[in-house]
Amino acid sequence: MGDCVVRAIAAACNLDWDTAYLHLVVQGWMIHDMPSANDVWGMYLAGRGYKRAIIPNTCPDCYTVADFCRDHDSGVFVVATGTHVVTVIDGYYYDAWDSGSVIPTYYWERRS
C-alpha cells in the first residue's frame, strides 16, 4: 500500500508529511495496528474533531470523488474509497494522481 493515508492526513490537518506519518505511527502503536489502517487514521481524525459520514448508496457505481467535490464545495473532508484515501478542500481534491473517477464509500468532515 502507498502513502495515500499519510498524504491525505497531512493535507487535511495542515501538517508536513513527516509529522503526519509520526502522528499516525503513534496512533497505530496505541491500538496495535498499522498507520494506514482505517481504524488508526479514523481515530486520529476523530481526536482532531472530524466526524464520519457514509456516502448514500443511491448510485453505488456512479457517484465519484469528482461528484463529491461538486456536492461539497466548502470545508475539509478526508474521503475513503475501498482502497484509497484523498483529501477534499473547498471542492477540490488533492492527490498524487487523478482520483476524480474513483468511487467513495465514506468520509470524515472537519467540524468547527
Minimal CA–CA distance to 72: which of 64, 82, 84? 64
User: What is the average per-residue pLDDT within 4-10?
Assistant: 97
Domain boundaries, the chain: 4-110
How is residue 108 written as a grid cell?
470524515
Residue 93 burial by Cβ neighbours in a 10 Å radius (0-12, 13-18, 19+)? buried
Residue 59, CA distances (Å) to 29, 55, 68, 79, 103 in order: 37, 10, 12, 17, 10
The whole model's pTM is what? 0.93
List pLDDT tens digits, range 52-107: 999 988 887 789 999 999 999 999 999 999 899 999 999 999 999 999 999 999 99
Check whether 1 has a pLDDT greater than 60.
no
27-31, 44-48, 59-63, 66-70: the lowest-pLDDT one: 59-63
